[in-house]
Amino acid sequence: MNFAPDEITLQVAQTAKDFANQYIRPHVMEWDESQEFPVHIFKEMGKLGLMGVLVPEQYGGSGLSYFEYNVVIQEIAKVCGSIGLSLAAHNSLCTGHILHFASEEQKQKYLPKLASAEFIGAWGLTEPNTGSDAGNMKTTAVKDGDHWILNGTKCWITHGKSGDVAVVICRTGEPRTKENSTAFIVDRGTPGFNAGKKENKLGMRASETAEMIFDNCRIPDTCRMGAVGDGFHQAMKVLDGGRISIAALALGISKGAYEAALQYSKERYQFDQPISNFQGISFKLADMATEIEAAELLINQACDLKIRGKQMTKEAAMAKYYASEVAVRVSNDAVQIFGGYGYTKDFPVEKFYRDSKLCTIGEGTSEIQKIVISREVLRGF
Backbone φ and ψ of 122, nearest 5°: -125, 160
Contact 119, 188 (CB under 8 A): no
Distance CA 72, CA 19 (A): 10
* 363 has catalytic annotation: yes
Residue 292 burial by Cβ neighbours in a 10 Å radius (0-12, 13-18, 19+): buried
Question: CA-CA distance, 208 to 82, in Å (whole number)?
Answer: 9
Type of residue at 363: E
Q: Which residues partner with 209 through β-bridges? A: 158
The catalytically annotated residue of 75, 291, 315, 363 is 363
Q: Which residues contact 109 (CB under 8 A, 6 or more apart)?
A: none
Give the Cα separation of 295 and 292 in Å (integer).
5
H/E stretch holding 135 reads none
C-beta of residue 253 within 8 angstroms of C-beta of residue 83: no
Q: Where are the alpha helices (DSSP H) in the chain?
A: 7-19, 28-34, 39-47, 66-77, 81-88, 96-101, 104-115, 231-267, 279-307, 313-338, 349-356, 366-379
Q: Count CB neighbours of 104 within 10 A.
A: 7
Measured CA to CA, the distance from residue 123 to residue 186 in angstroms comes to: 10
Reference 242, options 164, 185, 316; nearest CA is 316
Query: Annotated active-site positions, please?
Result: 363
